[in-house]
Structure 1
Amino acid sequence: MTTKIALITGGYTGEAEVSFKSSDFVYSQLDKNKYDVYLITITKENWYHVTDAGIKIPVRKDDFTLEIDGHIIKFDLAFILIHGSPGEDGRLQGYFDMIDLPYTTCNALTSALTMNKGYTKALLQDISSLHHSNSVMLREFDRENAKQVVEQKLKLPYFVKPNAGGSSIGMTKVKEASELQDALDKAYDAENTGKQVLVEEFIVGREFSQGIFRNSAGELIVLPATEVKTTREFFDFEAKYIPGLTEEITPADLTDEQKERSVRVLKEIYLRLDCKGMVRVDYFLESETGNMYFIEINTVPGQTAQSFIPQQVRAYGMTETGFYGELIEASLRFK
């Protein structure tokens, strides 16, 4: 019998449109001789699968099964491709833990922690060779005085972003004090991000994104890095998803020392946070010092043909089909 995979897409935030593109690509790459794949869409209103005949079948939430033509479809694994809530913040992971269904991502605790950028930085503070920009984390009750708090503790320019968001939604680079309040409001009001804001001092340097995963043999594999060069003010939502605004160089032009350092640091981050499956770490190499500055970790990174992870998989010498198969087999083995 083939392994039954629930390929889960959609979500509750503005990142849903990216999730649909990721799931379309992954579906096209999965080996259908080994895996019986069902695309499951999750929205706030419905959880469902659409059959080849165009019939919408609701997911039975008590055990995450489908009933199609009188047959019950029970899944062996959930392949989670929801960027943002509820697929990247631990909510789905907690549900799957309760019904004993393995999944491809980090566990519920790690997923929840890493969606909180401030908490993540706190956990990674003492990793050798990893630096962190000065920052302030603001909660909802700080909102009235947020501007004054930032101006007292940080120096311009700033990055202002939702503390639990993704795809740079709600993010602003602030170069002048007059821009700060609008940026704070934008971050606070970003949909389904928890009403928390992270403000960080800007680091001048080269920006990189790099994937790491555990394969079916249990080995940690660090993929080649991608350097990001954008014509935008920073790597915002438009720069990420509109062709022509960003140059992505994979593999990045790094010295042997920089490559060795990034591999060592990424493995420590993965282990420190108890990650599973594939994750992607974004970081700067500061121009003046060459120091490595942590930006964020993505536990459900984008998977379109042009996304960083597929680029890096190809640069590593794997096919996407082989890579996704490794993720599935590792998730089943180390559940």
Structure 2
Amino acid sequence: MAKILFLAQFAPTNGKKVIPLSSEEKFYAETYHLPICDILEKYGYDYVTSSDVKELIQNYAQYDLVWSVYNRLGFRNCEVFVQSICEYYNLPYIGATPNVRALVEDKSMSKQLAEHLQIPTAKWVVASSKYPLSAVAPFNGPYFVKPRFGSASIGIDESCLCETWQHTIEKANSFLQNDIEVIVEEYINGIYYGVPILNNTEIPLIAVPHFQTSDKIGNIITNSQKRFTEGGMKRFICQNEGLNKILKYYSNMYFMQMQPCDYARIDYIVEKDTGIPYFLEVNTLMNLGQKGGFVASFLESGFNSYDEIIRYIIDLGLSKVKK
């Protein structure tokens, strides 16, 4: 039987529990990381769990498959670290390859692929400490300012929505002062939609899209709302068959171009006035927890339980292990 290493922030390490330090961390542990650990145990997999990537670095030869759900490891460009280590040791892993992960973690480059595929995309510019925003607005507002790299919603709140270019520059500078590069998007007044995808031996499995609303200004959804530690966010399964068909078409086209990748969620904003879906970003390490949108959509798309979804993903990884 193949031996699996499961890496997660709150995965038990050397037999000891990792204690969450905040309500958001507790949510992640109890609805995401620990349930996956329970599934590995419940179904008799040969596995080790750890919250320390040194377990991989020091003991890589003991494992046949790695599954890391770490989004951040505390250093720049950490998103591709575990997968790169696996590639170095020719060790199979679950997820996206480092080059694909790098593409999607860069919100600017991922938008360029969407444009190339002729998927509607709002205007945008990027800025860094070396190359700050120009004094003259490149397009009309309102504007939305957020970190350019990374898939989490940390740092996103109502102050990210800026009516004027001067306000946009000030907000961007607040990120740049902390060495966080930014992307400034043309704000689309609409609703956020997510389209979860699982790879398959033939065509990808694309779940029914879900959408989310917020009581924040501009329908902005914060990191705390996504972790259910702050109220005001609601999630629904989309029942609009016409819109679902368009979103699935775009998502299938995009997913086929971002291979190799085992699973992903592609996000859009559907403009209220026109009904046009604009590509927003893509995530290859979204929340796979019991209360996440990814799971909610697939439970409406042929899967009968959370366990079944997680075991499907594990099987994608095990299929890469040489017999």
Q: Indicate whether the TM-score tops 0.5.
A: yes
State yes or no: 1:173 paired with 2:173: no
Partner of 2:181: 196
Aligned residue pairs, count: 299
Query: For each residue in 1:1-45, what CA deviation from the matched residue of structure 2 results, as whole angstroms up to 9, or x when unmatched?
Result: 3x322111139xx99947645322322334633412322113xxx
Whether the 8 Å contact between 1:94 and 1:108 is mirrored in structure 2 is yes
Query: For each residue in 1:167-209, what CA deviation from the matched residue of structure 2 results, as whole angstroms up to 9, or x when unmatched?
Result: 222332223445324421333356xxx7421000101122111
- Partner AA of 1:272 in structure 2: Q
Q: Please report how far the alpha carbon of residue 240 of structure 1 lies from its aligned counterpart in structure 2 after TM superposition.
A: 1.3
Partner of 1:240: 226
User: Using a 3 Å threshold, how does the CA distance of structure 1 residues 320 and 60 change in structure 2: closer, same or farther?
Assistant: closer
- Find the residue that maps to 2:246 and give its secondary structure: helix
State yes or no: 1:153 paired with 2:163: no
- Partner AA of 1:29 in structure 2: I
- Find the residue that maps to 1:244 and give its secondary structure: coil
Q: Say which of 86, 96, 100 aligns to 2:86.
A: 96
Bigger CA drift: 313-322 or 154-163?
313-322
How far apart, CA to CA, are the structure 2 residues paired with 1:39 and 1:267?
A: 33
Partner of 1:291: 276
- Find the residue that maps to 2:268 and give its secondary structure: strand
Q: Please report how far the alpha carbon of residue 238 of structure 1 lies from its aligned counterpart in structure 2 after TM superposition.
A: 2.2
- Find the residue that maps to 2:47 and give its secondary structure: strand
Partner of 2:125: 136
Q: Please report how far the alpha carbon of residue 232 of structure 1 lies from its aligned counterpart in structure 2 after TM superposition.
A: 1.7
Query: For each residue in 1:312-333, what CA deviation from the matched residue of structure 2 results, as whole angstroms up to 9, or x when unmatched?
Result: 1222231221222221222232
Normalised by the length of structure 2, the TM-score is 0.83
- Find the residue that maps to 2:79 and give its secondary structure: coil
How far apart, CA to CA, are the structure 1 residues paired with 2:299 and 2:56?
A: 37
Gaps of 5+ in 1: 49-58, 66-73
Q: Please report how far the alpha carbon of residue 62 of structure 1 lies from its aligned counterpart in structure 2 after TM superposition.
A: 4.6
Partner of 1:310: 295
User: Using a 3 Å threshold, how does the CA distance of structure 1 residues 60 and 298 change in structure 2: closer, same or farther?
Assistant: closer
- Partner AA of 2:124 in structure 1: S
State yes or no: 1:121 paired with 2:111: yes
Whether the 8 Å contact between 2:290 and 2:306 is mirrored in structure 1 is no
State yes or no: 1:61 paired with 2:45: no
User: Using a 3 Å threshold, how does the CA distance of structure 1 residues 81 and 267 change in structure 2: closer, same or farther?
Assistant: same
How far apart, CA to CA, are the structure 2 residues paired with 1:292 and 1:179?
A: 27
Whether the 8 Å contact between 1:25 and 1:303 is mirrored in structure 2 is no
Q: Please report how far the alpha carbon of residue 78 of structure 1 lies from its aligned counterpart in structure 2 after TM superposition.
A: 1.1
RMSD: 2.7
State yes or no: 1:164 paired with 2:153: no
Kindly indicate which of the two structures has a greater share of residues assigned to strand. 1
Written as runs of structure 1 = structure 2, the 5 A alignment for 1:253-268 is: 253-254=239-240, 256-268=241-253
Partner of 1:269: 254
- Partner AA of 1:167 in structure 2: A
State yes or no: 1:26 paired with 2:36: yes
How far apart, CA to CA, are the structure 1 residues paired with 2:41 and 2:195?
A: 25
How far apart, CA to CA, are the structure 1 residues paired with 2:292 and 2:174?
A: 26
How far apart, CA to CA, are the structure 2 residues paired with 1:209 and 1:9?
A: 23
Partner of 1:223: 207
User: Using a 3 Å threshold, how does the CA distance of structure 1 residues 235 and 275 change in structure 2: closer, same or farther?
Assistant: farther
User: Using a 3 Å threshold, how does the CA distance of structure 1 residues 225 and 31 change in structure 2: closer, same or farther?
Assistant: farther
Partner of 1:10: 9
How far apart, CA to CA, are the structure 1 residues paired with 2:312 and 2:112?
A: 31
How far apart, CA to CA, are the structure 2 residues paired with 1:30 and 1:202?
A: 42
Q: What percent of counterpart residues are identical?
A: 18
Whether the 8 Å contact between 2:267 and 2:280 is mirrored in structure 1 is yes
Normalised by the length of structure 1, the TM-score is 0.80
User: Using a 3 Å threshold, how does the CA distance of structure 1 residues 77 and 60 change in structure 2: closer, same or farther?
Assistant: closer
User: Using a 3 Å threshold, how does the CA distance of structure 1 residues 310 and 30 change in structure 2: closer, same or farther?
Assistant: farther
